């Protein structure tokens, strides 16, 4: 399930490709709008057969993208890591004692308790993660003021789990706790499975933001 109550400032766009909702593949901006993705005029739809670094990869970390055996493969450039060339590589196991405050990573784990993203984080990555019955909130205005990169890759939402990504004004009572302003947001959601769970995008995302949702399956189980 996907729930959106978001506002995109002038220049902010939502880029989507090859997503299923309500038992069918969404193929036009109007279909995405009807499924709850927001205003059709702010939605850029890319076909399922497209293979480019802006759609199936994290573009800033990708040198090129090409089809290999029917799969779009991202070739990472400087600073890119993993299948989608995200900006943060896999952490050492066990985690290093010292962690850069601006970087937050959860990878290869099942999460059953709510986690907190450090204030002023500029890079947030959830990769190969199962959220089981929990509802974490990524509140953008409490992150880095000069811009935030959020990567959600191969994440499953189970047993009522909800992942909130909130722009300015999305969190009740936030004004009392800190500034409600933030820089542009780069959100990349790829291979998300919401099985009786939900991804919720809400609030206002500033100019220059790019929200990308690709290759995701959104299912409300009964």
Q: Over the stretch 11-63, which tens digit does the pLDDT of each residue have?
A: 667 778 778 776 677 888 888 877 767 777 888 888 777 788 777 777 778 89
- Of 31-45, 122-136, 160-174, the least confident: 160-174
What pLDDT shows up at residue 9? Answer: 62
Contact yes or no for 151/188 (Cβ under 8 A): yes
Cα–Cα dist 62/69, whole Å: 20
C-alpha distances out from residue 25 to 39, 95, 102, Å: 18, 39, 37
More confident residue, 56 or 101: 56
The pTM for the full model equals 0.62
**Cβ-based neighbour number of residue 83 at 10 Å:** 18
What pLDDT shows up at residue 190? Answer: 86
What pLDDT shows up at residue 87? Answer: 63
Beta bridge partners of 194: 157, 218
Contact yes or no for 89/67 (Cβ under 8 A): no
- Beta strand 24-26 with 19-21 is antiparallel
Q: 34 by DSSP, 3-state: which? A: helix
Contact yes or no for 120/149 (Cβ under 8 A): no
Contact yes or no for 146/125 (Cβ under 8 A): no
Token pair 């939502």: residue: 14
Among the listed residues 207, 204, 91, 216, the one whose alpha carbon sits nearest the alpha carbon of residue 153: 216
**Cβ-based neighbour number of residue 176 at 10 Å:** 5
3-state DSSP percent of the chain in helix, strand and coil, to 5 = 10, 45, 45
**Does 161 have pLDDT greater than 60?**
yes
**Does 145 have pLDDT greater than 80?**
no
More confident residue, 221 or 148: 148
Tens digits of residue pLDDT in 72-85: 888 988 877 777 78
What pLDDT shows up at residue 219? Answer: 55
- Of 8-12, 103-107, 149-153, the least confident: 8-12
Q: What size, in residues, is the chain?
A: 222
């Amino acid at each position: 399930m996907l729930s959106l109550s978001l506002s995109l400032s002038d220049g902010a766009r939502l880029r989507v490709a090859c997503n299923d909702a309500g038992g069918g593949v969404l193929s036009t901006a109007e279909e995405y709008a009807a499924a709850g993705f927001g205003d059709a005029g702010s939605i850029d739809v890319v076909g399922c057969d497209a293979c480019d670094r802006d759609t199936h990869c994290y573009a800033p970390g990708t040198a090129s993208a090409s089809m290999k055996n029917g799969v779009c493969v991202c070739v990472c450039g400087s600073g890119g890591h993993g299948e989608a060339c995200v900006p943060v590589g896999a952490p050492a196991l066990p985690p290093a004692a010292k962690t850069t405050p601006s970087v937050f990573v959860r990878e290869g784990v099942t999460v059953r308790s709510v986690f907190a993203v450090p204030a002023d984080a500029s890079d947030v990555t959830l990769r190969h993660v199962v959220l089981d019955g929990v509802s974490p909130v990524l509140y953008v205005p409490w992150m880095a003021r000069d811009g935030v990169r959020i990567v959600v890759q191969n994440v499953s939402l189970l047993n009522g789990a909800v992942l909130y990504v909130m722009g300015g004004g999305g969190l009740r009572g936030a004004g009392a706790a800190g500034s409600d302003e933030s820089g542009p947001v780069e959100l990349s959601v790829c291979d998300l499975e919401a099985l009786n769970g939900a991804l919720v995008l809400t609030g206002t995302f500033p100019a220059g933001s790019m929200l990308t949702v690709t290759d995701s399956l959104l299912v409300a189980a009964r």
